[in-house]
């Protein structure tokens, strides 16, 4: 260990032991991925909220459900989660209606099953990657800590060869080890914040979808 | 529901944003924190039991020597000598004329002689007066010269004191800068970098210009960094002396004594 070295950032990364470098590389990768998902989710959730609002507005302003179902946006499935739930439910309702001799309650049950299936799929899609953020948030500090502990262990081991121990002998080792913790925290903090934020947003969307499904079932029951 | 519906359309912009966040983070780490190990300041002690050789003193001491105006002295002595010469030939002239025959003439001659004597005495008195006056003048002149010399000596002493002060602080500045030079590897010992440093009152460096390259760019850069790092440079407490420090020409060598 060279005592008089400059503590430049790149120097620290270069001089770290292999394991600490591995840890830091892993954390960098994890951090990149978590930020990637954070931005993907940000855009996705924002779009889902906007599309739901738009669809609800057109739905309540449009008494003619068939026309709404046939409108290009809804039919192609590009109008968002709520539109897709509506489309699945309405398609099932029409199919069941065409079969004669079906009881009304059976038609409604089939319709709500179809809607629930689509709802599950939509929720699964919205919630995807959230678990990754949660994992990163809870685990990466430990990974960083592991790297730090390892680095400090090495720093102190190097100290045993030196007769007179000064802070200058251990300082570079500790500094390079602490970089690992810093990176772990850098990966974890945004991941935790984003996870909480998006879990909350997705929960609100889910309750919104559920109440829409109930209301839509009521509308269909009235029409049947 | 096809899988294409769930394809997330924002993968690329999200990836770019994630990269941007990391770039910003690492830029902050790299530039935001000064990772350099700085030696504790104030631990550098210069011990001065004698002033280092003063280049400036001889230049300053010479003018007072010129200022001692003594060529006036040699002019004074000749004058009194001349007057004495004029007075002496007049005295031996009397006995020759006393030998002549006629008593009447003798009487007349005696009268004339007496008149001449009187004239002669008058001349001698006048000459003595002149001599006294001249001596007085001479005395005044020597006193003045003495005073002038004393004044010049005093001025020389003051100039020497100022010069020593200036030399001392120049040497302090040089040593402070030299302590801050981090000598890069592979600098030949005979490298010599010369800098023109412009100072502001208070010791702040306004400008440090490389005047003569040492041939080793790393060393030039190290010296320049050291100059900037040594701010504020030590300046004499006497503000009037600052003009001598406004423009400094400093030379630096890896070996302390190879250039002064």
Whether B174 and B213 share a structural domain:
no
Instruction: Give the CATH number, domain containing residue B249.
Output: 3.30.1150.10
Task: Tell whether B132 is covered by a domain.
Answer: yes
| B17 in A contact zone (CB under 8 Å) | yes
Question: B175 with B257, same domain?
Answer: no
CB contact B25 to A (< 8 Å): yes
Q: What pLDDT does B197 receive?
A: 85
DSSP class per residue in B162-204:
HHHHHHHHHHHHHHHHHHH--PPTT--TT--EEEEEEE-TTS-
What does R_g of chain A's alpha carbons equal in angstroms?
Answer: 28
Confirm whether A73 is domain-assigned. yes
For chain A, list residues with pLDDT below 70.
Answer: 1-8, 224
Chain A residue closest to B11 (CA)?
Answer: A40
Sign (positive or negative) of CA dihedral B178, B184, B189, B194: negative
Pairing state between β B247-252 and B193-199: antiparallel
B106, B146: one domain: yes
Q: Which residue of A has its CA nearest to B37?
A: A6
Give the closest-approach CA distance of A70 to chain B in angstroms.
16
The per-residue pLDDT for A28 is: 92
- Chain centroid to Cα B4, Å, comes to 88
Do residues B142 and B219 share a domain?
no
Q: Is residue B109 part of a domain?
A: yes
Contact B130, B83 (CB under 8 A): yes
Amino acid B130: pLDDT: 92
Residues B120 and B237 in one domain: no
- Is the same domain home to B59 and B176? yes
pLDDT of residue B8: 65
Residue ending a domain, among B180, B215, B235, is B180
Question: Who's near A28: CB < 8 A, 6+ residues apart?
Answer: A183, B22
Domain-embedded: residue B11: no
User: Could you give the CA distance from residue B77 to residue A72 in angstroms, rounded to a whole number?
Assistant: 133
In the predicted model, what is the mean pLDDT of residues B66-94? 49
Whether B116 shows a pLDDT value over 80: the answer reads yes
In a domain, A3, yes or no: no
Contact B5 A78 (CB under 8 A): yes
Q: Is A1 a domain residue?
A: no
Q: Determine, for residues A38 and B18 on separate chains, whether the beta-carbon distance falls below 8 Å.
A: yes
Domain extent, residue A51, equals 9-223
How many folded domains does chain B comprise? 2
| Distance in Å, alpha carbon of B247 to nearest chain A alpha carbon | 34
Q: How far is B228 from chain A (nearest CA, A)?
A: 19
Q: What is the pLDDT of residues A182-217, one digit of tens each?
A: 889 999 999 999 999 999 999 999 999 999 999 999
Measure the CA–CA gap between B63 and B135, rounded to whole angstroms.
31
| Structural domain includes residue B13 | no
Verify that B87 and B171 share a domain, yes or no.
Answer: yes
Q: Looking at the structure, do residues B152 and B100 belong to the same domain, yes or no?
A: yes
- Report yes or no: B5 at the A interface, CB cutoff 8 Å: yes
Q: Across the interface, which of B21, B22, B35 has its CB nearest the CB of A8?
A: B35
- Same domain? For B123 and B227 the reply is no
Per the structure, how many domains does chain A have?
A: 1
Top pLDDT among B109 and B40 is at B109
Among A10, A39, A168, A186, which would you mutate to test the B interface (most chain B Cβ atoms within 10 Å of its Cβ)? A39
| DSSP code for B215 | S
Chain B residues within an 8 Å CB radius of A125: 6
Q: Are residues B122 and B200 in the same domain?
A: no
Q: Does A6 touch chain B (CB under 8 A)?
A: yes
Task: Among B128, B148, B180, identify where a domain stops.
Answer: B180
Residues B103 and B118 in one domain: yes
Q: According to the model, what pLDDT value does residue A153 have? A: 87
Rounded to the nearest angstrom, the minimum Cα separation between B229 and chain A is 17
Among residues B154, B180, B206, which one ends one of the domains? Answer: B180
Cβ-contact B232, B203 below 8 angstroms: yes
Q: Which domain holds residue B254?
A: 187-260
| Sheet order of strands, B193-199 included | B205-212, B193-199, B247-252
For the stretch B126-178, pLDDT in tens is: 999 999 999 999 999 999 999 999 999 999 988 888 888 888 888 888 888 88
Task: Examine residue B37 and state whether it is found in any structural domain, yes or no.
Answer: no
What's the CA gap between B93 and A138, in Å, rounded? Answer: 139
Rounded CA separation B70/B86 (Å) = 29
Residue B194 and residue B152 share a domain? no
Residue B36 within any structural domain of the chain: no
CA distance B76 to A75: 132
């Amino acid at each position: 260990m060279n005592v008089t070295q400059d503590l430049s950032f790149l120097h620290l990364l270069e001089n770290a032991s292999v394991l600490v470098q591995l840890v830091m590389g892993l954390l960098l990768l994890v951090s990149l991925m978590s930020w990637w998902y954070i931005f993907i989710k940000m855009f996705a959730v924002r779009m889902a909220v906007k599309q739901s609002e738009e669809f609800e507005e057109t739905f309540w302003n449009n008494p003619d459900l068939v026309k709404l179902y046939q409108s290009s946006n809804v039919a192609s499935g590009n109008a968002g989660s709520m539109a897709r739930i509506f489309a699945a439910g309405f398609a099932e309702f029409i199919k069941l209606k065409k079969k004669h001799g079906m009881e009304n309650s059976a038609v409604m049950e089939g319709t709500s099953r179809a809607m629930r299936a689509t709802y599950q799929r939509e929720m699964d899609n919205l919630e995807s990657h959230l678990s990754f953020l949660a994992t990163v948030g809870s685990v990466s500090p430990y990974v960083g800590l592991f790297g730090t502990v390892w680095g400090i262990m090495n720093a102190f081991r190097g100290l045993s060869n030196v007769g007179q121990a000064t802070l200058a002998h251990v300082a570079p080792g500790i500094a390079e080890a602490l970089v690992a913790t810093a990176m772990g925290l850098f990966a974890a903090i945004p991941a935790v914040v984003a996870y909480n934020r998006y879990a909350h947003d997705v929960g609100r969307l889910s309750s919104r979808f559920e109440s829409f499904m109930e209301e839509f079932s009521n509308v269909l029951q009235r029409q049947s | 529901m096809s899988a294409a519906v769930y394809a997330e359309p924002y993968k690329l912009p999200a990836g770019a944003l994630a990269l941007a966040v990391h770039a910003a983070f690492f830029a902050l780490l790299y530039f935001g924190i000064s990772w350099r190990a700085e030696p504790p300041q104030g631990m550098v002690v210069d011990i001065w039991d004698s002033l280092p050789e003063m280049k400036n003193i001889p230049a300053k001491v010479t003018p007072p020597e010129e200022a001692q105006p003594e060529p006036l002295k040699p002019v004074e002595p000749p004058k009194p000598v001349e007057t004495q010469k004029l007075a002496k030939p007049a005295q031996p002239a009397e006995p020759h004329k006393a030998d002549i025959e006629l008593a009447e003439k003798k009487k007349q001659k005696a009268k004339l002689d007496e008149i001449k004597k009187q004239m002669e005495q008058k001349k001698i008195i006048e000459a003595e007066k002149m001599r006294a006056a001249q001596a007085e003048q001479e005395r005044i002149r020597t006193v003045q010269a003495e005073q002038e010399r004393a004044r010049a000596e005093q001025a020389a002493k003051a100039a020497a004191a100022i010069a020593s002060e200036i030399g001392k602080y120049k040497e302090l500045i040089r040593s402070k800068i030299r302590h801050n030079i981090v000598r890069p590897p592979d600098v030949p010992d005979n490298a010599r970098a010369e800098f023109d440093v412009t100072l502001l009152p208070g010791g702040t460096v306004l400008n440090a210009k490389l005047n003569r390259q040492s041939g080793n760019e790393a060393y030039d850069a190290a010296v320049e960094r050291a100059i900037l790092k040594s701010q504020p440079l030590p300046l004499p407490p006497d503000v009037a002396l600052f003009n001598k420090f406004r423009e400094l020409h400093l030379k630096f060598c890896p070996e302390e004594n190879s250039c002064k």
